[in-house]
Amino acid sequence: QTTLTVANWLPPSHPLVSELIVPMTEQIEEATGGTVVANILPAPLGPPPAHFDFAVNGVADITFGVQGYNAGRFKTTNIAELPFLGDSAEAISVAYWRIFEAMLKDAGEYDDVKVLAVFTHGPGEIFLKEGDVASADVMQGQKIRVGGGIVHEVASALGAVPVEGPSSKAYELLSQGVADGILFPYESVSFFKLIPQLSDAISVPGGLYNTSFYIVMNKGKWESLTPEQQEQIDSVTGEALARMAGQMWDNADAAGLAAMEGEIEVVTATDAQMEAWKAALQPVVDAKIAEAAETGVDAQAAYDMLKAEIAKETGGE
């Protein structure tokens, strides 16, 4: 019997752990007939950005995380994080996995590990303490808490003043009134306990951005498994795992939205807002695709294929 150690930097109650990582380990155990089991570590081994290298260096056998935490390392991630891709994390995640298999993995960014899945979070929306939510200028001058990466650029492009801080500091920034709002998916607003701090939300059709995630395995550990075990694990990871991840985020977003009932007024962005924001964000989209193309993959083709696959997934339901 082989035991895979899973590094975990999130509280065990987080849906990414309880609804994805735990079921994944159960499915691996089941598929391999109990010959491969997992041990999820109770406490983090280090900060979230360190986790990709934990898998590379064999500190843990399986790790998961956000590519954006390692700036400069992953450029193909950009394509899946662009604005207005879609409302369903499941559709985006499945489409993302397909373009990863077909094109993105050729960039070589994941050559040091065995990739079990890449997927995205549900769409990022706008949350504010106050403001004229129907105006196209609603973001103008608002201090918006951002992490790094595309969210910073999206907030700037919409005229907001970006206030930087890790997501664990979001509560402090909003409750002290240092930030006026945040760009987040519904799930994260609820998870980080921010609902009491906010009053308005603008649901942006297609989402303002997505966040890309990975689940990877140490290469040596993977190669130590029998070809049969590898095949069994492949049967429950890859696209199947990306789909389960997307569904998990969609459910978490639905629960987050339900928790806002009566606390945050959620409106849908108007046509005028969407027109203005699409124009404002086009330069960000172009720059991100150009950055992804630096890796040598045909980024525009990958972007087009991503959108086509999302449409296929969404239409197929």
Partner 1 sequence: MSARRFDLRTLLALMAGVLMVTLMGMTVVDVIGRYVFNAPLRGAAELTELLLASVIFLGLPAVALADEHVTVDLVTDRLPDWIQPWRQGLIGIFSGAILAVVAWRIWIYAAQIGGYGGATTTLRLPLAPLGYFCAACTAFGAALSLGVPLWDLYRRRKG
Partner 2 sequence: MEHWPVGLAIVGVLLLLGVPISMALAGVGLAGVAAIIGWTPALSLLGSTFFDTGRDYSLSVLPLFLMMGNFVVQSGIASELYNSAYAWLRHRKGGLATATVIACGAFSSVCGSSMATAATMTRIALPSMRKFGYPDQLSTAAIAAGGTLGILIPPSVILVFYGIMTQQDIGKLFLAGLIPGVIGIIGYSIAVRISIAWQGIDLPVEPKLPLLDRIRALKGTAGALILFAFVMGGIYLGVFTPTESAGMGAGGALLLVVLSGRFSFGGLVAVLYDTMKTTAMMFFILFGALTFTNYVNMSGMTRDIQAFLALFGDTPMVTILVILVIYLLLGCVLESLSMIMLTVPVFYPIVAAQGIDLIWFGIFVVMVTEISYITPPVGMNAFVLRSVVPDVRLGTIFRGLGPFVMMDVVRVALLTAVPGLVLLLT
77 and 226 Cβ atoms separated by less than 8 Å: no
Instruction: Of 220, 24, 4, give the one whose Cα is nearest residue 112.
Output: 220
The reply to whether 53 sits near partner 1 by the rule CB under 8 A is yes
Helix axes 227-236, 22-31, angle to 10 degrees: 140
For partner 1, which residue of 2, 40, 45, 165 counts as binding (CB under 8 A)? 165
The reply to whether 70 sits near partner 1 by the rule CB under 8 A is yes
For partner 1, which residue of 3, 33, 73, 132 counts as binding (CB under 8 A)? 73
Please state the φ and ψ torsions of residue 141, each to the nearest 5 degrees. 75, -5
Residues 209-268 that bind partner 1 (CB under 8 A): none
Residues 83-142 that bind partner 1 (CB under 8 A): 109, 141
DSSP reduced 3-state for 139: coil
Q: What residues line the site for partner 2 (CB under 8 A)? A: 5, 11-13, 41-47, 49-50, 53-54, 57-59, 165-166, 168-169, 171-173, 175-178, 191-193, 196
Q: Name the one residue in this structure whose structure tokens are 């002290």.
A: 176
For partner 1, which residue of 15, 86, 122, 162 counts as binding (CB under 8 A)? 162
The reply to whether 163 sits near partner 1 by the rule CB under 8 A is yes
Q: Which partner in partner 1, partner 2, none is near 44 (CB below 5 to 8 A by kind)?
A: partner 2
The reply to whether 288 sits near partner 1 by the rule CB under 8 A is no
213 and 24 Cβ atoms separated by less than 8 Å: no
- Containing 110, the helix (H) or strand (E) segment is none
287 and 75 Cβ atoms separated by less than 8 Å: no
Partners of 125 in the β-ladder: 184
Residues of this chain that bind partner 1 (CB under 8 A): 53, 56, 68-73, 109, 141, 143, 147-149, 152, 161-166, 178
